[in-house]
């Protein structure tokens, strides 16, 4: 590979009106460090500011309403205190020359009454229980059968996304990513394993994609098109999600999103967290060909794969997840081909500064 091609990953990139310092994206990473009231904390401010050398940070998923919550200590973007907490973070990232978007989240059925207001059942497109457990105040507990959303509730749900997008503006974010991946609510509506509805939001592909498109249109009432993106994971089974025929479904969804002139499409390539190869005949690069905006490739990228993918113009931006946990200066380490810090998986979720803001920079600094 030529030296010039190698440098592509480290060159500036125009994401609509945003100039990114490089093509390396910090992927959304749930870390469960929010404070009381799911308010972002000063510790989170340190964490994000340390990683501001990323061309773009996409924040950890943040629930659009109390109903959208599925794990303890995840931040929200619906209360004034949460907006104020996030504003401290966006200002700290901007002070270091970084760019940061917020990921808007509703978990749907991946929750538990212990995490819901008044002990309510989690909501979903249909009353189909997810196999698996969820992290509550008393540890891991089995998920329950959710309540199917009534069609009369859907306008209110869309309004929650619109309001969260407004709150993101107030908090100083550079844009928003709509989380429609990894088996959460919008993905549950898309896929036929979880969507058994017979109304306008269920049945055929167009109906199952309807909520995603209506949510995206609502967010676009608040934000410029080039500041909005959607994350999809067409072949990932995480959170007990599946579809009997994903290719026409996701081709339709991406064609509809492309028609809205969205800023970017963020694709989890393969199974979330690996492997990239699923053995499914659906070749995800088809989706990139259907989308004229910025394409962010995500999932298991090494330095070599990222360089090659950028050089071949297979993706515009490359998102790294776990490497950013342990390497606040990941961009510099990738540029120099320097060794990476070892991950401490025991500190991924919850806890304090340990395994969060204490990973060393090159030369042993922790302040960047």
184 is catalytic: yes
SS3 state at 113: helix
Sequence-ordered strand ranges (E) for 222-338: 228-232, 264-268, 294-298, 317-320
By the 8 A CB rule, do 299 and 318 touch?
A: no
Rounded to 10°, the helix 205-220/246-259 angle is 30
CA 197 – CA 190 distance, rounded (Å): 11
The span from the CA of 45 to the CA of 50, in Å, is: 9
Q: In 10 A of CB 350, how many CB atoms?
A: 14
Which helix (H) or strand (E) element contains residue 251?
A: helix 246-259
DSSP state of 146: P
Q: Which of 184, 201, 295, 356 is catalytic?
A: 184
Could you tell me if 69 and 76 are in contact, meaning their C-beta atoms sit under 8 angstroms apart? yes
Q: Is 22 helix (H, G, I), strand (E, B) or coil?
A: coil
The DSSP annotation for 305-317 comes to HHHHHHHTTS-SE
Which residues are the active-site residues? Answer: 184
């Amino acid at each position: 590979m030529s030296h010039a091609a190698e440098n592509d990953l480290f060159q500036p990139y125009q994401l609509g009106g945003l100039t990114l310092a490089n093509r390396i994206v910090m992927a959304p990473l749930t870390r469960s460090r929010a404070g009381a009231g799911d308010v972002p904390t000063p510790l989170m401010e340190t964490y994000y500011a340390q990683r501001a050398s990323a061309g773009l940070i996409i924040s950890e998923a943040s629930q659009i309403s109390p109903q959208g919550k599925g794990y303890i200590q995840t931040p929200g973007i619906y209360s004034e205190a949460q907006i104020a907490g996030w504003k401290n973070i966006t200002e700290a990232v901007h002070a270091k020359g970084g760019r940061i978007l917020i990921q808007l989240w509703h978990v749907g059925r991946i929750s538990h009454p212990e995490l819901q207001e008044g002990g309510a059942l989690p909501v979903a497109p249909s009353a189909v229980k997810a196999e698996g457990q969820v992290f509550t105040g008393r540890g891991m507990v089995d998920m329950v059968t959710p309540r199917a959303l009534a069609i009369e509730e859907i306008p209110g749900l869309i309004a929650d996304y619109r309001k969260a997008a407004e709150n993101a503006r107030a908090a100083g974010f550079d844009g928003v990513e709509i989380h429609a991946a990894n088996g959460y609510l919008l993905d549950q509506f898309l896929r036929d394993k979880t969507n058994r509805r017979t109304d306008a939001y269920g049945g055929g592909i167009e109906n199952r994609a309807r909520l995603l498109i209506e949510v995206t249109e609502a967010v676009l009432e608040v934000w410029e098109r080039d500041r909005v993106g959607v994350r999809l994971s067409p072949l990932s089974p995480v959170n007990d999600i599946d579809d009997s025929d994903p290719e026409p479904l996701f081709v339709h969804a991406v064609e509809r999103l492309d028609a809205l002139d969205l800023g970017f499409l963020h694709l989890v390539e393969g199974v979330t967290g690996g492997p990239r190869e699923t053995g499914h005949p659906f070749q995800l690069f088809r989706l990139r060909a259907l989308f004229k905006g910025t394409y962010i490739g995500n999932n298991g990228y090494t330095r070599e794969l990222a360089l090659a993918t950028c050089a071949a113009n297979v993706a515009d931006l490359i998102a790294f997840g776990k490497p950013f946990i342990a390497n606040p200066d990941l961009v510099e380490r990738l540029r120099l081909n320097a060794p990476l810090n070892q991950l401490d998986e025991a500190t991924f979720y919850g806890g304090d500064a340990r395994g969060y803001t204490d990973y060393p920079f090159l030369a042993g600094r922790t302040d960047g």
